[in-house]
Structure 1
């Protein structure tokens, strides 16, 4: 057997063995986890189990070495990327190493995947094009999580924007019924937890900050900063002014709710007015050609048949 084949087999064995050993060492439960598992087996129900969070911790332990290669060294806590994480609702400590670990893995993995597929398609004179494709795949892999994060932020902010007027109506009804603002927000959290989890989560964090002793003005400003939605910022400014000058919270909520309802109605009319323009290009490029084929196809076949018969005669 050639020495190169032996070295290839040895390198493959070393890589596979090292990967399996690292995975086993990372996935092995720690001493605290083993002790908690023993308590759970001895006294069922004594320790609450959270399997999803446990898997997140395991993934975070695997991704942390890769995340160190792309994680910013300074200014991370005050960066715009950290703000987008908050707007997306990714507040778990495991989200940061997982995100940057995926960026590093994609940036290094996509060129390695494309290398065997492209190595036989380029000759020595096309070396620059070959390296350009590999570099482009690395850039795409590095910035692909950014687009996913941006999509997540827009989707969550849209969910909050659509559910915010309904939650405001519920708060207004609760306040008019005699509840305080804090109790009304807590009641809205219980009602919207299933239907609108994003809005309920933000209100729940607001109530937790108020219970922890944070001033109401600071807690409300944190709510506006966490969501990044303009309507929530306007509500926060209105509530701060109402609390500062002693005006009626119920009247302020009613005025703001009417304004939001009018805004939603105007946005719906705007989107309906854009339908005619947006549907023009699908009509021209998709529907009209198929109609021409169906309507003019038989006539074109008859014309071609008649011309062939005339030419043959």
Structure 2
């Protein structure tokens, strides 16, 4: 019995020794493997290391932006690129805004609107039907958010160009009548004035310098903008260029017509003031006036006991 017990203990001891040796060898092999991997990574070629050394924006954000852009193109339709490009032209091509970025911004805006509307509904504890309406409205508002921004930019830009056009045409007229050609006069206006109209004139000059004809450059100016007075000016200059009419005479006529239209527009806006002031007069001013005039009389009547 003692012999068998001793043999068993010897066997267990040998097993533990061999297990320890095997564990050390496997651990050594694991360490060697890790060191080999680290050495391979440090000694990898530069082309292979660039993939791992690329910043987070190039590895994650750029592919995500491409996928969102492709999804935006599919949703907005085949002819959406031309419509978005026209809106960008009307808005003056804001820095950083491209057709692809607007398409991607619609998708991102829809997702953000959906999430914000959902959180808003949960915080206020709306019912299911109201929450669905709020979420749908937030999603639609987020999707059309870039369009609304471009529309507001185009509206402000058109209003500013409308106010700058008469002075610009006067400066063109003076420059042409003083002996400059139309192209040189246009360049002088673009250099000596600021604003979106000067930028449009500068673009016309660059297009003509690149080889585009004067008539084509002016037509492109009219197509990029939705202002009726500017379109009328462009058509008059194109006709003058086609039929050989003196440019100074055409500019003088255009200047007088635009100033007459501007005066008529101001008179029209002045005539609209009485109509527009009627609503606040009835609901805001007259009640306060009645309280100030009739209030003391009512108080005296109530104190006298008549009522």
TM-score bin, normalised by smaller chain: 0.7 to 0.9
Q: Which runs of 5+ in 2 are unaligned?
A: 1-54
**Alignment partner, residue 284 of structure 2:** 286
Number of aligned residue pairs: give it. 251
Residue 224, structure 1, aligned to residue 222, structure 2: yes
Task: Give the CA deviation at 1:297.
Answer: 2.5
Residue 111, structure 1, aligned to residue 114, structure 2: yes
- Asked if the contact 1:206–1:223 (Cα under 8 Å) also holds between the matched residues in 2, the reply is yes
Note the 1:1-313 alignment, pairs <5 A: 25-26=56-57, 65-71=67-73, 72=76, 74-78=78-82, 80-90=83-93, 92=95, 94-119=97-122, 126-193=127-194, 197-307=195-305
Distance 2:165 2:98 in 1: 26
RMSD: 2.8
If the length of structure 2 is used for normalisation, what is the TM-score? 0.73
Q: Which runs of 5+ in 1 are unaligned?
A: 1-23, 29-58
Task: Give the CA deviation at 1:225.
Answer: 0.9
Q: Structure 1 residues 27, 306: CA separation in 2 closer, same or farther (over 3 Å shift)?
A: farther
Runs of 4+ in 1 over 6 A off after TM superposition: 59-62
- Asked if the contact 1:60–1:98 (Cα under 8 Å) also holds between the matched residues in 2, the reply is no
Distance 1:181 1:60 in 2: 47
Q: Structure 1 residues 248, 130: CA separation in 2 closer, same or farther (over 3 Å shift)?
A: same
- Indicate the structure with greater helix content: 2
3-state DSSP class of the match of 2:140? helix
Q: Structure 1 residues 25, 121: CA separation in 2 closer, same or farther (over 3 Å shift)?
A: closer
- Asked if the contact 2:111–2:139 (Cα under 8 Å) also holds between the matched residues in 1, the reply is yes
